[in-house]
């Protein structure tokens, strides 16, 4: 599904339909009824225990309060092989492919209308009831309420117009309001502080359901003032088509399923959480912000594009692939000896494995310090030799068991800012960071046990494999 030829539709439903036609074996359609209360999460978790991660489509979801039935698609990002296919590459080339496309960022193209403008509800006319208009799922028993997990908030700088897209979990607070958290305290938080300094609320638009490549762009980590909508154009291979919201004129993807336009008042508060976060724990650490919804736009026949919560592979991949791609490019540019970088699902966002061919003593430490300094989420980096497959936990742990001496190869740095959602971090969100040098080193005394090529070939013959 690489971007080539005639411009492809920029909406999620067209994308999913095309993918179903191309790779039907990688899509599981559940036609029978499922509950909106945890059953979708349970199905995905059961499949994951079997080593399966298909794109999931649920045609009948019961318990949604919406006026009309809404199908649900989820786990789009549950497989790295699938994401790599969208870029037309093998999984090992995903980072490079992502960076190559993101560097072709281009300004969005404004259009008069799109799928998301098919139906418009005006809160000024008493026409906004979020429980009736916007489907929400309960993902975990411990969640405070049903949530929108795929909630991308778009805001624009009041002076430059530069946009920001970022994910923020959101739950129903009132018929026309959502409680949300800006705990990452990224660019949206900075725009909210700027609005507070000027004594006004921040106009925003929450987008629910976009083309998957636009969803990836919303996870990109960009400098303040850079625009994820431009990155989306690079990933798509064509400018992102946008429409302006009715009240505040915010440019949002024209192919979206839902858009909720409104304001966040810097002084307003609404209790939010707990919610099952990427750590695998339910977190009630929240900024408790309130999004007052003034307008709702949606397709005539919308689909809920869900993102699995908790430490599901989908949640981790969606947030991590843009970050990993950036880190791979940075670390290889500074340290050509680096051969591979991997963030394992087992470490949520907090662990990274880096493989390298050290050219001099101490280089592994320098590489680890670079990663720990550049990536604000990382707590632990393990460095291994280039012949260790960093995509396999068992190989990294074997290198740690046989190459690492704690008194010599461990370094710890304390008192650094970390993720507010790390349950082990301090209340202020500070954490310590650790590097473990599991490269062999110049004084390593060991010869790798190997089986000869002839014996391996004979084994294939014995087992009847070519």
Confidence band for 2, pLDDT divided at 50, 70 and 90: very low
Mean pLDDT lowest among 62-76, 195-209, 291-305: 62-76
pTM, two decimal places: 0.89
What is the domain partition of the chain in residue ranges? 93-307, 335-437
Question: Which candidate, 110, 74, 105, 42, places its Cα nearest to that of 212?
Answer: 74
Give per-residue pLDDT as tens, 366-381. Answer: 999 999 988 888 999 9
Name the class of domain 93-307: mainly beta
Residue 4 reports pLDDT greater than 50: no
- Residue 98 CA, distance from chain mean position: 14
Residue 340 pLDDT class (50, 70, 90 cuts): very high
Other CB atoms within 10 A of residue 364 CB: 27
Per-residue pLDDT band for 345 (boundaries 50, 70, 90) equals: confident
pLDDT at residue 287 tops 90: no
Question: What's the helix, strand, coil split of the chain in %, to 5?
Answer: 30, 25, 45
Q: Taking residues 388-398, report their average pLDDT.
A: 94
Give the residue among 227, 163, 251, 158 at the shortest CA–CA distance from 198. 158
Angle between helices 94-102 and 313-334 (to 10 degrees): 80
CA gap 290, 267 in Å, rounded:
9
Q: Quote the percentage of the chain above a pLDDT of 70.
A: 98
CATH number belonging to domain 335-437: 3.40.1670.10
């Amino acid at each position: 599904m690489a971007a080539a030829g005639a411009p492809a539709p920029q909406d999620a439903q067209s994308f999913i339909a095309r993918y179903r036609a191309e790779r039907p074996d990688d899509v599981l359609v559940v036609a029978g009824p499922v509950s909106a209360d945890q059953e979708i999460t349970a199905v995905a978790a059961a499949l994951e225990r079997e080593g399966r991660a298909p794109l999931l489509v649920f045609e009948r979801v019961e318990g949604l309060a919406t006026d009309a039935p809404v199908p649900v698609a989820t786990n789009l990002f549950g497989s790295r092989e699938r994401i790599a296919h969208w870029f037309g590459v093998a999984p090992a080339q995903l980072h490079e492919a992502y960076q190559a496309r993101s560097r072709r960022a281009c300004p969005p193209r404004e259009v008069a209308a799109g799928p998301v403008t098919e139906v418009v509800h005006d809160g000024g006319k008493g026409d906004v009831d979020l429980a009736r208009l916007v489907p929400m799922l309960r993902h975990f028993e411990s969640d405070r309420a049903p949530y929108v997990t795929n909630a991308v908030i778009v805001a624009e700088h009041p002076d430059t117009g530069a946009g920001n897209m970022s994910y923020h979990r959101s739950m129903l607070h009132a018929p026309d309001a959502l409680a949300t958290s800006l705990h990452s305290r990224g660019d949206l938080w900075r725009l909210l502080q700027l609005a507070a300094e000027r004594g006004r609320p921040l106009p925003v638009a929450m987008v629910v359901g976009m083309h998957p490549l636009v969803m990836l762009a919303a996870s990109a980590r960009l400098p303040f003032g850079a625009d994820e909508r431009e990155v989306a154009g690079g990933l798509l291979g064509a400018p992102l088509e946008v429409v302006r919201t009715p009240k505040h004129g915010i440019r949002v993807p024209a192919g979206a399923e839902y858009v909720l336009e409104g304001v966040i008042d810097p002084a307003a508060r609404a209790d939010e959480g707990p919610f099952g976060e990427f750590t695998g724990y339910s977190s009630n650490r929240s900024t408790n912000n309130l999004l007052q919804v003034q307008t709702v736009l949606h397709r005539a026949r919308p689909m809920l594009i869900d993102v699995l919560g908790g430490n599901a592979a989908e949640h981790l991949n969606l947030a991590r692939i843009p970050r990993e791609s950036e880190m791979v490019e940075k670390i290889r540019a500074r340290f050509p000896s680096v051969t591979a970088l991997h963030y394992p699902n087992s470490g949520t966002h907090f662990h990274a494995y880096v493989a390298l061919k050290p050219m001099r003593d101490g280089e592994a430490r320098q590489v680890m310090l670079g990663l720990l300094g550049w990536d604000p989420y990382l707590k632990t980096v393990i460095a291994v030799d280039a012949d260790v497959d960093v995509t396999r936990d068992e190989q990294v742990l074997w290198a740690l068991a046989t190459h690492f001496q704690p008194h010599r190869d461990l370094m710890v740095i304390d008192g650094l800012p970390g993720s507010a959602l790390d349950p082990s971090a301090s209340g202020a969100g500070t954490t310590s960071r650790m590097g473990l040098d599991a490269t062999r080193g110049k004084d390593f005394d060991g010869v790798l046990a190997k089986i000869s090529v002839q014996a391996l070939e004979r084994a294939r013959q014995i087992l009847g494999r070519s």
